[in-house]
Amino acid sequence: MSERRVEDRLDDLEQQVSVLMERMQATSAADPSNAKDWRKSVGMFNDRPAMREIDEEGERIRREGRERAASDGKYKKEDSVDKLG
């Protein structure tokens, strides 16, 4: 690929990024509620089967890790957060 072609592609990408940045700034300025806020994502995956599977798999992995650590003597059962549930 010639160097000129790479420069053309880079110019195109820079222009596209500039347009996207302008749109983002205009949207955020017009409606501050559109600004990034992590709290908007809380609960957005509730009651979704895929999310339940992910949570269950994470719990399984943590449980196995605790069991392995307990068998190595590095973990005390009374330190467990499983006491709640």
pTM (two decimals): 0.41
d(CA 82, CA 67): 12
d(CA 16, CA 18): 5
Indicate whether 13 pLDDT > 90.
yes
Contact in structure between 28 and 42 (CB atoms under 8 Å): no
Residue-wise pLDDT for 53-85, tens only, equals 999 999 999 999 999 988 887 666 665 555 544
Q: Where are the domains of the chain?
A: 1-30, 45-75
Query: If 0-12 CB within 10 Å is exposed, 13-18 middle and 19+ buried, where does residue 36 land?
Result: exposed
